[in-house]
Amino acid sequence: MLDLDKIQALAEEISAATASTPEEVEALRIKYLSKKGSVSALFDDFKNVPNEQKREIGKKLNELKTIAQTKINDLKESFSAADTGATGIDLSREATSSVWGGSHPLSIVRNDIIEIFGRLGFTVSEGPEIEDDWHVFTALNFPPEHPARDMQDTFFINNNPDILLRTHTSSVQVRTMERQQPPIRSLFPGRVFRNEAISARAHCIFHQIEGLYVAENVSFADLKQTLLYFAKELFGPETQIRLRPSYFPFTEPSAEMDVSCSLCGGKGCSVCKGTGWLEILGCGMVDPAVLESNGIDSKKYSGFAFGMGVERIAMLRYQVKDIRLFFENDVRFLKQFQSVL
């Protein structure tokens, strides 16, 4: 006679069943769940159960069947997982290597420059990218008709001639002098914007690092010595510099600095176009009129300033032929700088 005890006994037996091979699992399946199996046999007996017990016994029978099916499935799964080891983890599988990030080449060059001038006592500060006419042009002695004030060269915001994207970091010289009296010895790194057609050699966004030193008795010799030290530290101890007279509205006298070509050592090659020299920055003595417009006594103080393009220096250092590569963030390009921290 089928009763609850019989069902309970079989449930316990099935729950305790174990198998050590897939074949043993199949044998258990046949023993309990096949047409002639013991669970099926109890279902056959069900027709003899008195009507008043059918409800309770039927429920328990169905539970028993679920227990048996779950047990067989679990055992089966434990063997298919055995391919990857008993824990389900394949210890022989190759580990996925983690992808390391690295510094962008422009950051590497910028940090090197800041570090070199830091040894000479230069601090670092920044100014806004959106500027007004005063800080970018007027306070720096640009005459009203200067071409930089033309829409062709400068991005103005909403066609307002007084709100613009700075075209050089020299605007941060003004912001520094208007809030700080000498001695000033600072670097101003940042992005600048010019309305130029994008090509391999020019971009409408690029980075500059500006330097400003204002104190008593600062001379052109100090400027030259500072820049010579910088060039040797950045490009190597053999490096020579050359200062060519130039013009900027805010420095007098003004110069452009060339360094001896680090690739050919000055003999002449394709990078320096056969001249042996590479132009890397503009510089000069701060025009006394600029000191005065910013509330600094030009009888007491003098100073020098310089400004350089970070992309240009990075292109020379890493032999990058197209400036656009710095802005595209193509990992195949960036990966090449991974090991340089």
Q: Which residues in this chain contact ligand PHE in the complex, by CB under 6 A? A: 168, 170, 210, 248, 251, 282-284, 305-307
Residue 239 or 251 with smaller CB distance to ligand PHE = 251
Give the nearest distance from C-beta 109 to ligand PHE in angstroms. Answer: 17
Looking up tokens 């060339």, which residue turns up? 258
- Calpha distance 96→312 (Å, rounded): 38
Residue nearest to ligand PHE (CB): 307
Give the nearest distance from C-beta 146 to ligand PHE in angstroms. Answer: 13
Query: By CB neighbour count within 10 A (0-12 exposed, 13-18 middle, 19+ buried), where does 307 fall?
Result: buried
Four-residue CA torsion sign, 75, 77, 82, 83: positive
Q: At what angle do helices 105-119 and 220-235 cross, to 10 degrees?
A: 130
Residue 7 or 310 with smaller CB distance to ligand PHE = 310
In 10 A of CB 255, how many CB atoms?
23
Give the nearest distance from C-beta 252 to ligand PHE in angstroms. Answer: 10
Give the nearest distance from C-beta 115 to ligand PHE in angstroms. Answer: 20
Residue 116 or 334 with smaller CB distance to ligand PHE = 116
Give the nearest distance from C-beta 284 to ligand PHE in angstroms. Answer: 5
Residue 22 or 253 with smaller CB distance to ligand PHE = 253
Give the nearest distance from C-beta 283 to ligand PHE in angstroms. Answer: 5
CB-CB contact of 122 with 185 (8 Å): yes
Give the nearest distance from C-beta 316 to ligand PHE in angstroms. Answer: 17
Residue 135 or 168 with smaller CB distance to ligand PHE = 168
Residue 57 or 305 with smaller CB distance to ligand PHE = 305
Q: Which residues contact 336 (CB under 8 A, 6 or more apart)?
A: none
- Calpha distance 72→32 (Å, rounded): 9
Q: Is the link from the previous residue into 253 a cis peptide, with omega within 30 of 0?
A: yes
Residue 206 or 277 with smaller CB distance to ligand PHE = 206
Give the nearest distance from C-beta 163 to ligand PHE in angstroms. Answer: 20
- CA distance readout (Å), 63 to 3, 16, 52, 338: 14, 16, 19, 61
Kindly give the residue spans of alpha helices, DSSP state H, lying in the chain: 4-16, 22-33, 38-45, 51-80, 105-119, 133-136, 170-179, 220-235, 288-293, 310-318, 325-328, 331-334
Q: Which residues contact 176 (CB under 8 A, 6 or more apart)?
A: 125, 127, 184, 186, 188, 212
Give the nearest distance from C-beta 240 to ligand PHE in angstroms. Answer: 21
Residue 206 or 235 with smaller CB distance to ligand PHE = 206
CB-CB contact of 287 with 212 (8 Å): no
- Calpha distance 307→188 (Å, rounded): 9
Residue 105 or 211 with smaller CB distance to ligand PHE = 211
Indicate the pairing of strand 160-165 with strand 156-157. antiparallel
